[in-house]
Structure formats: structure tokens, C-alpha cells
Amino acid sequence: MKLFTILAIICSLIAAIHCSVLRKWPPSMEIPLEKCSAENNIPTDLGQKIISHREEAKTKDEKCLLGCYMKERGFLVDHKIKWELLYDTHAAHITDESVREKVKEIFKKCEENFSYTGKDDCQIAYEAYKCA
């Protein structure tokens, strides 16, 4: 009986540690990631890499993952990028003011030069991610 109790405790600890390691993003990012990954048949770990710019979206499904994610987060509304909101979200993680200003300039140039003509939400999101 003691052995069973000890094994149950060990399994509970392993499960708790494993779950805390897997959930790296806040729910505001994790929930849209899981939803959009499932909708576009993309493994969640690959979706996370694409969204965090560690892997480039190559297929239509991967680009549509970006479109879905950006819509879920409010960055893509009525086929238009909400550049200021997108910048604010990125800037919140940048502590160095000079880096923040450089990033702001990049976003500003992206917004000024961005073309929506003939593009669906998947392509709009993909090109915005490539630019910013």
C-alpha cells in the first residue's frame, strides 16, 4: 500500500512538472494557438515556432494558421492589420528603449508600404509577419 501511495505521488509530481513546462505562453496566446493549429492541421509545437518567428510559414495551412491566430488576437480585422496593436504587443516585451524605437520604425515602414490588394487573410497575415 505504501508503494502504491509513493508511486501515485511521484506520478502526480511528474504530471505537474510536465504540464507547467508545456504551457509556456499565457492563455491569451495559448488558446488561439491551439484553436488555430487544430483548424489548420498544424502540430501545436510547429504552430508555436511559426508564430514566434522561429520557423517560417511555408505552406498554405501554415500561412492560414497565422491568419487565424492574428484574427483571434485582434491583430487582423476586416482584412486589415491593426499595426499599432501589433506593435504594442511586441513592444511590451522590449525593455531597451532604443530597441523599442527601432522596432517601432520597422512597424511604421511595414504599415506604410503594405499592400492588401488581391490577398486573402492568410497571405495578409503571412506578409505582415515577414515584414515585422
Q: What is the pLDDT of residue 2?
A: 52
Q: What is the pLDDT of residue 20?
A: 43
Q: What is the pLDDT of residue 26?
A: 78
Could you report the average pLDDT of every consecutive run of 10 residues in the chain (132 residues)?
Answer: 45 48 70 96 96 95 98 97 95 93 95 97 97 88
| pTM > 0.95 | no
Q: What is the pLDDT of residue 14?
A: 54
How is domain 26-131 classified at the CATH fold level? Answer: Recoverin; domain 1 (1.10.238)
Domain range list for the chain: 26-131
Q: What is the pLDDT of residue 4?
A: 42
Contacts of 33 (CB under 8 A, 6+ apart): 25, 44, 47, 48, 51, 69
